[in-house]
Amino acid sequence: MNDMMVERPAATAPRSRTVLVTFLGSVVRTMGDWMPIAGTVALLTQSGLDTSSVRTAVFRLKKRGWLESETRAGRRGYALTPTALDALAVGDEVIWHARQPADLADGWCVVNFSVPESARAVRHQLTGHLASLGFGNIGSAVWIAPARMLPAAQRAIAELDLTPQCAVFVGDYAAGQELTAMVRNGWDLDEIDRRYREFIEDHRHRADRLTGSAGMGGEEAFDAYLSVVNRWRKLPFRDPGLPSEVLPADWSGPAAVQLFERMVAVLEGPALAHAAPYWPARPDPV
């Protein structure tokens, strides 16, 4: 692949990277944590990417330490590194097992930090990490999420070497600002709900057709599977699974989760069966 150093316009790069990460998590691990170069290009071009952008995305993930060159059965390819496997496993907890509403009685995880102005970039990294994990900002350098997010917060803080600058607590709400008002201030619930509703609106008719059809071609199933997983992948990260007591009565999260799981149940088998012949050992999809 000549190290795949082909550059594409910036507008195409983010989508190529996100689709490739989705491909690694939903297909490559099933096929033995390794992907053939030619097969990867062939499959992802079927899903609407062009050859150059696929090669560039692979090259960039290799630079990030996610992929390492490895030849199997005479075919050149890339194996997932421990870094990639760890990151994908963390994502699995959210993507494939969407957070159910937390139990209000379990309490809250509160993160407070003091990072000097000279380390502004690191501070922004930390707040970005916390936001992507579903933490809400309720005050100056104060972030909060259900108590079960404690390990994720500790991991994010440690990765940035900010443990000495942070204080992390777990406890109950006792008094003060009304809890639902605090949640409204800390999270953009309207925006999270809007994204869930858009997902439902964009996929429910297709899901009905899939459920009622006798089947579809392998390429179509693969493209649909990769598309729905890629579209869904980032949605649950913004949603920490807040207790139902503090959510609007018409919260659309559960309906979106149900639709996603329904589509995966129909598409996953045919999609992986379509992908399998591109691997030399042709393993049976799990």
The residue to which tokens 């807040």 are assigned: 242
Given this model, what pLDDT does residue 6 score?
A: 34
Task: Write down the pLDDT at residue 211.
Answer: 64
Question: Do the domain assignments include residue 251?
Answer: yes
- What pLDDT is stored for residue 114 in this prediction? 87
Tell me 12's DSSP state.
T
> Residues 85, 115: one domain?
no
212 and 237 inside one domain: yes
**Residue 138 shares a structural domain with residue 85:** no
Instruction: Supply the Cα-derived Rg of the chain in whole angstroms.
Output: 21
Structural domain of 204: 189-278
**Within a domain: residue 283?**
no
Considering the domain architecture, whether residues 52 and 117 belong to the same structural domain is answered as: no
Does the residue 210 lie in any domain? Answer: yes
Tens-binned pLDDT, residue by residue, of the chain (286 aa) = 333 333 333 334 557 888 999 999 999 999 999 999 999 999 999 988 989 999 999 999 999 999 999 999 999 999 999 999 988 887 777 777 666 788 899 999 999 998 877 778 888 888 888 888 889 998 888 999 999 889 888 988 898 888 888 899 999 988 888 889 888 888 999 999 999 999 999 888 877 777 655 567 889 889 999 999 999 988 887 787 889 999 989 999 989 999 998 899 889 999 999 999 999 865 455 4
pLDDT at 34: 96
Q: For residues 148 and 150, what is the distance between their CA atoms, to the nearest angstrom?
A: 5
**Domain co-membership, 53 together with 129:** no
Q: Please indicate, yes or no, if residue 269 is contained in any of the structural domains.
A: yes
CATH of residue 114: 3.30.70.240
Q: Is 6 within a domain?
A: yes
Terminal Cα-to-Cα distance of the chain (whole angstroms): 29
Q: Are 17 and 24 in contact (CB under 8 A)?
A: no
Residue 118 falls inside a structural domain: yes
How far is residue 202's CA from residue 220's CA, in Å, rounded to a whole number?
17
Token look-up 């459920």 returns: 211
Q: Into how many domains does the chain fold?
A: 3
Same domain for 112 and 87: no
Residue 182 is assigned to a structural domain of this protein: no
Helix boundaries (H) for 114-235 = 120-133, 150-159, 179-186, 189-212, 218-232
The Cα 54–Cα 42 span in angstroms is 10
Quick check: is 176 in a domain?
A: no
How much is the pLDDT for 111?
94
- Out of 48, 66, 91, a domain closes at 91
Q: Are residues 22 and 77 both part of a single domain?
A: yes
CB 69 within 8 A of CB 107: no
SS3 261: helix
pLDDT in tens, 151-194: 888 988 898 888 888 899 999 988 888 889 888 888 999 999 99
Give the pLDDT score at 126: 87
pLDDT of residue 165: 85
Supply the pLDDT for residue 237.
78
